[in-house]
């Protein structure tokens, strides 16, 4: 796999998929998996059990990783 030019903290634009056209900040990069986590993009609902950190529990929306090939660095 080629070296990823996208780094944590970069502003990127989604160029393919359901979230095409959205922009956000890179929160995490997983180059070995070829995926990135972008703020506000690819939101999924996850059922969370009650815990110390999440006393309410219930359904929470969070970002899921997307393929690194589907984003480009925006100026």
Q: What global pTM score does this model have?
A: 0.81
Asked if residue 2 is part of any domain, the answer here is no
Mean pLDDT of 65-69: 96
The pLDDT, as a whole number, for residue 3 is 67
The pLDDT, as a whole number, for residue 71 is 96
* Enclosing domain of residue 63: 11-73
Asked if residue 26 is part of any domain, the answer here is yes
C-alpha pair distances (Å), 22 with each of 4, 17, 26, 66, 70? 20, 10, 12, 13, 11
Q: Please answer whether residues 6 and 71 qualify as being in contact, where contact means their C-beta atoms are separated by less than 8 angstroms.
A: yes
Looking up residue 54, the CATH number of its domain turns out to be 2.30.30.30
Count structural domains, the chain: 1
Task: Return d(Cα 42, Cα 19) in angstroms, integer.
Answer: 7
Asked if residue 18 is part of any domain, the answer here is yes
């Amino acid at each position: 796999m080629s070296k990823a030019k996208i780094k944590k903290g970069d502003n990127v634009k989604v160029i393919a998929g359901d979230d095409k056209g959205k922009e956000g900040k890179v929160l995490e990069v997983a180059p070995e998996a070829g995926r990135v986590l972008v703020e506000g993009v690819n939101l999924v609902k996850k059922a969370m059990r009650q815990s110390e950190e999440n006393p309410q529990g219930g359904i929470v929306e969070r970002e899921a990783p997307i393929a690194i090939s589907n984003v480009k660095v925006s100026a």
